[in-house]
Amino acid sequence: MPNSIRTTSNIQTTTNSTPATFKAGDSVLCPSVGFAAYKLFNDKEYDCLGFTLNSKTYHYRNDGKVSRDDALPSLFHDTPANRQAIATLYNGSQSSQRTVIDITEPNDNEVIVMSSFELSDIACDLESAAVVISDIGKLLALIHYEKIEPHVAISMARLTHDTTETWHELLQSQLGSIKETLAMTRYGKEGSQ
């Protein structure tokens, strides 16, 4: 019999069928706006409840919906259970989930976390610089063994100089970035003494 994949469903029913109601002064959560708690006020101009964030006012009905046609409310009372439920819902679907690859030793008591993109960028720069240094070494060997004509050697030396200057600037920039990060560690403090 072939292997099969089993799926199970987890159906949860709520025991509270009474929809929440809100009033001015309530502390609410609104994950579509942000993850802070917001205090509702009566907005008499629009005859509804609202809260303000960064000079923008958000309006809601007393059932927590923006419109009576909304299927679900946008507001939730600020309770520990609601905070946990919202955190679970949003943390599970957002890109804040990280895979951490720990290559430290047990006695490392200071660790720098950087993105794999940043580490890849550093590795690419180092690999490219190594290729350029190898090419320069081969060019110098050709010049030394007189395998190329003098006017070609002069042109190649000019190109090599330009390449060396470019890579010097790139690597110095990369090194500056690394040193800034290290300056926040004990190694940066040791180097400044």
User: What is the distance between the alpha carbons of residues 161 and 131, in angstroms, rounded to a whole number?
Assistant: 15
Contact residues for 184 (Cβ-Cβ < 8 A; gap 6+): none
Residue 10 in this model has a pLDDT that exceeds 50: no
pLDDT computed for residue 162 by the predictor: 92
Estimate to the nearest angstrom the gap between the alpha carbon of 14 and the chain centroid: 35
Entry pTM? 0.46
Alpha helix segments (H runs only) across the chain: 80-93, 116-144, 150-183, 186-191
Q: What is the pLDDT of residue 3?
A: 39
- The closest alpha carbon to 139, from 118, 153, 125, belongs to 153
Please state the domain extents for the chain: 27-93, 116-191
pLDDT at 97 over 90: no
Please answer whether residues 43 and 57 qualify as being in contact, where contact means their C-beta atoms are separated by less than 8 angstroms: yes
Alpha-carbon distance of 89 to 76, in angstroms, equals 14
Residue 183 confidence (pLDDT): 85
Note the pLDDT tens digit of each residue in 134-147. Answer: 999 999 999 999 99
Lowest mean pLDDT among 16-20, 59-63, 132-136, 168-172: 16-20
Q: Distance between CA atoms of 116 and 175, rounded to whole angstroms?
A: 17
Report the relative pairing of strands 41-43 and 27-29 from DSSP bridges. unpaired
Read off the tokens for 187. 């190694």
How far is residue 10's CA from residue 164's CA, in Å, rounded to a whole number? 62
**Residue 29 burial by CB count (10 A; 0-12/13-18/19+): exposed, middle or buried?**
buried
Q: Which residue has the higher pLDDT, 146 or 6?
A: 146
Whether the Cβ atoms of residue 40 and residue 49 lie closer than 8 Å to each other: yes
Find tokens 């490392």 and name the residue.
108
pLDDT, tens digit, for every residue of 150-172? 999 999 999 999 999 999 999 99
